[in-house]
Amino acid sequence: MNDTYTKRVEIAPDEKGYYDRKCPSEKCQFVFKILMEDWKTKVSDEQVYCPLCGYVAPADKWDTDEQIKELTVQMRNLADLAICDIFAKNFGAYPKTTHKGCLTIKYTPPKREALIDTPIPQREAWKQDITCEKCGTRFSVIGNAYFCPCCGYNTIEKELPHSLNSIENKIHVRENAFEFFSSSYGEDEAERLCQSILENSIGDIVSIFQKYSADLYNSHTKPLLVNNFQQVDNGSDLFRKLLGHGYESWLSPDELRTMKIMFQRRHILEHNKGYVDSKYLQKCDDTTYKEGQRIVVKENEVLEFLRIIRKLVDGLGSLNFPI
């Protein structure tokens, strides 16, 4: 009898040919799909990139919870079969009841279940499919994706409209969210949560624009850190020196002023719990507040900020960068 037990586990891709994967980073755990053919022929064994957070890990670290569970079941079934065969080999030559002096051994052969070769299924196919502009790898996600899982190419420019749309949708559902939060946590907490949606939206818009600006700039000249675009004037100067066009090429003085105020409000909300200090008043022309007051974010202000950023992104995207 062969004492070595092996079993080839088959993977059944979804109806579009995609294979489920999960980011191994504990802080992310993002689930995405990649075309099975590309996983086998393009993705390296040494490094795979998470489309959402950019985390890098070897190819054998990306199994989903469902895949691990099914693999565990099949391994357990294989182990049970091996144990049955070992007992049959060692006790099969004896009578079912064997007497050895004062010792009586009773052996009842267990029922030997046949292994069923059932391929591990994947989740149903998703609608949003992406093809990497750099390496051609095809993958699918729900929500945002910023990196190619094969080569790590940053797709922030392509995903930016989706990200901004998601922020706008989040703002517009606040009314329904208030009703849900009220029924679960009470009206006071519901109001706090809905207000936090607006406040966090400012930070989200600034972060996305900073990343977009840095990646756009770095793809055509000497790389700079994202923080170089943390200040509106600094970012505008960088593009002006590179291309002869600063943000004023597309934004009016009032729009630029609003953009600067919102960038500074984001800093105050994240680093000073929203309370106005002297640095805030020095860095932006916001006459609506005095030192010691707390920023109150209004929906119309965030939507106007969103409109301005979209207008600026359209302008930057229309430029002809030097080769």
Residues 17 and 145 in one domain: yes
Maximal CA-CA distance, the chain: 103
Residues 301 and 219 in one domain: yes
Low-confidence ranges of the chain (pLDDT < 70): 1-9, 87-88, 90-117, 320-323
67 within domain boundaries: yes
Q: How far is CA 268 from the centre of its chain?
A: 26
Residues 121 and 252 in one domain: no
Is 41:32 a contact under the CB 8 Å cutoff?
Answer: no
What does each C-alpha distance from 50 to 73, 148, 150, 156, 293 come to in angstroms?
27, 8, 9, 14, 41
Query: Among the three residues 154, 183, 217, which one is the final residue of a domain in this structure?
Result: 154
State the residue range of the domain holding 63.
1-154
pLDDT at 8: 66
16 within domain boundaries: yes
62 within domain boundaries: yes
323 within domain boundaries: no
Residues 307 and 164 in one domain: yes
Residues 16 and 150 in one domain: yes
CA torsion angle 303 306 311 317 (round to 10): -160
CA angle centred on 125, ends 120 and 129, rounded to 5°: 125
Query: Among the three residues 154, 176, 198, which one is the final residue of a domain in this structure?
Result: 154
322 within domain boundaries: no
pLDDT at 1: 44
- Residue 119 CA to residue 12 CA, distance in Å, equals 5
11 within domain boundaries: yes
Residues 217 and 135 in one domain: no
pLDDT at 38: 96
Residues 5 and 142 in one domain: yes
pTM reported for the whole predicted model: 0.64
Residues 142 and 207 in one domain: no
Q: Which strand (E) or helix (H) includes residue 196?
A: helix 187-218
Residues 53 and 111 in one domain: yes
CA neighbor of 291 nearest in space, from 275, 269, 273: 275
6 within domain boundaries: yes
Q: What is the pLDDT of residues 261-276, one digit of tens each?
A: 999 999 999 999 999 9
Query: Among the three residues 138, 154, 170, which one is the final residue of a domain in this structure?
Result: 154
Residues 274 and 180 in one domain: yes
The tokens describing 245, both together, are: 């066009």
Residues 38 and 129 in one domain: yes
Crossing angle between the packed helical segments 253-271 and 232-243, to the nearest 10 degrees? 130
Q: What total of structural domains would you count in the chain?
A: 2
- Residue 189 CA to residue 311 CA, distance in Å, equals 35
Residues 180 and 124 in one domain: no
221 within domain boundaries: yes
The tokens describing 280, both together, are: 């805030």
